[in-house]
A and B are shown apart, each in its own frame.
Chain A
Amino acid sequence: MVRASAPAATGRRRLSLKTKEAIAGYLFISPWLIGFVVFVLGAMIASLVISLYKTNLLSTFRFVGFDHYLGAFQDRLFRKALSVTTYYTFTVVPLQTISALSMALLLNQKLRGQGTFRTIYYLPSVVSSVATISVWWWMLNPDVGLINTILAKIGIDPGPRWLLSQQWALPAIILMAVWGSGGSMLIFLGALQGIPKELYESAMLDGAAALRRFLHITIPMISSTIFFSLVMGLIGAFQVFGASYLMTEGGPNNATLTYVLYLYRKSFQQLRFGYASALAWILFVILMFFTLLMFKSSDVWVYYETELRK
């Protein structure tokens, strides 16, 4: 009797179309993914490990656990750097946003020479930071600088000692940062130009004044752009380095000692890489906290056209 046998099982399982497409997708993004894993994620993990050691990365590797994290809050200069940076961030970001939005609103008018004005206002953000700092260094000179010369003409003489004064050094750097808000201005301009004109026409037909139109149409319609600008501004401002490094070296008397400048000193000047790595992770946590806070708050005030609210 011949027993019918089942067909021989095949050696390989055939992949479904979905799996094949997923594999293809990962292969396409693999260059970026490999770079991210190696140069970003890998570096972050290495930094986390280093933060648990007292090390100069050359000859000394002593495990200290979380001592660096706890010790940071006892460090007078760490507290100073954190307070300086926090003050800088929560002053610069609103000022930059208001300044950029104001310029965008002005440039959104149909005026002759609009292109020229856009270029002029955008130029500061494309000038190299070193050149910008050199120019502002001269402008802020208490004796011969342009700013104090103008102030003297309007009766404020002697003017502030700016970078040589503990009281005025940080405001001077903030002033320079606000001057460079041309990049945000362009983003706001794009958002303003994306607002449907019909909304304004309907509002005008209903008798809405300019301020009302601005508050109830313009702001809500560009709220997502404002949100983006605030988040990116916050992250960038907390990492300010160039101005304090090149203009004041953190002085006078640590009045402009920013967080990243302090971190840089600890790592590359004093070779305290363990402590510096801990500072970097503390900054990461702070930024995550504020970013998440802003994302949470966005449910209340940010409007997305495609969003369906409950």
Chain B
Amino acid sequence: MSMSSSASLSPVSLPMQRSSPLDPPAGYRCLREEEPVSRLAFPDGKVGWLLTRHQDVRALLADDRFSADRRRVSSPVRRFPIRPDAPAVRAGSLIGMDPPEHTRYRRMLTRYFTVRRMRELAPRIEQVVSEHLDAMERSGPPADLVPAFARPIPSLVICELLGVPYRDKATFQRCTSVLLSLDASEDEMAAARDELWQYMLDLVAAKRQHPDGALLGSLIQIDAADAGLSDERLAGIGQLLLAAGHETTANMLALGTYALLSHPDQLCALRQQVDLVDSAVEELLRYLTIVQFGTVRVAREDVEFAGRCIRAGETVVASLTAADRDPVQFPEPDELDLARPAAQHVAFGHGIHQCLGQQLARVEMKVAFSALFRRFPRLRLAVRPDEVPMRNDMFIYGVHRLPVAW
């Protein structure tokens, strides 16, 4: 295969300007059509690559010539590095690991998140959802769906699964919110990281004293036999799963509701056809793809990829958002069509790092969307659509608030 010289391409910066709240920045479409493997200028001054086609994004994320080691990648949106030596960045944080270390952690954790176990959680999730709908009904309308519904449900569920006391939610929600914000300064980030880290270390110490049957306590008990899990590793695992478990689903619930309310015909179909919810959830995942700045890998060696030569050490950004609007994979990609086969989306990533908690997220979304629109068949926005504040300033896209009435 002949390879174009990378020098002939001038680097672009990551498209970040959305012209409509439910569509990705238009820059992605141009890149996908004209320069699907483009040179990307990073805020730290380095130059790497940006992928915008579905096939290339999947290929990258399944390619073991690329590493997920976060100490070596540039951030597509931050000027400063993620404090590469901080123990909190490394220990137990399997999203930044490569095999064989990653495989060991993943195998240890996956059994807590299987399809079967997540289905067994459904009755408890239904109960949590129902309690929050009761509370909304008692105090409203109107209500802000984010604090009343979208945020507490996944937060409570992941706390119970991990064994994190839900009463501490103010601490971990505030810390993760700073860590996922684009506007936070390096000092603010460091303070939030230290606070969350200390919180998790204290929690792990408490679990060692009194292990329970939830995930962290169970890891401690299993590990007593073969002693591979230090407090730091357990805290790292807990921190990652806690942040991933509440931020992502919370935003899918609120933004998904906003999307459905903006497409009344689709919402109507979902209400009339209860079993549409499975494909509706996949289509919402695709259409909204909330990990809005994509995911990153670094080349371990010089790699020939999609006709280009990617040099060892260069960072490659896989735009999940752009991939999930690729018309080659999804005809009429900008249409929300709850009945379409959307399961090939990369909203959960692809390859060995594909989301560990995806089956939990699916069950939470199915239960929550179904119950919300059953309880409030006349749910509507209580403000104009353009008055809803969007999370353009956060790693995970969504809405900051969603005022609704019924």
Partners in one complex: no
Tell me the B residues contacting A by CB distance below 8 Å. Answer: none
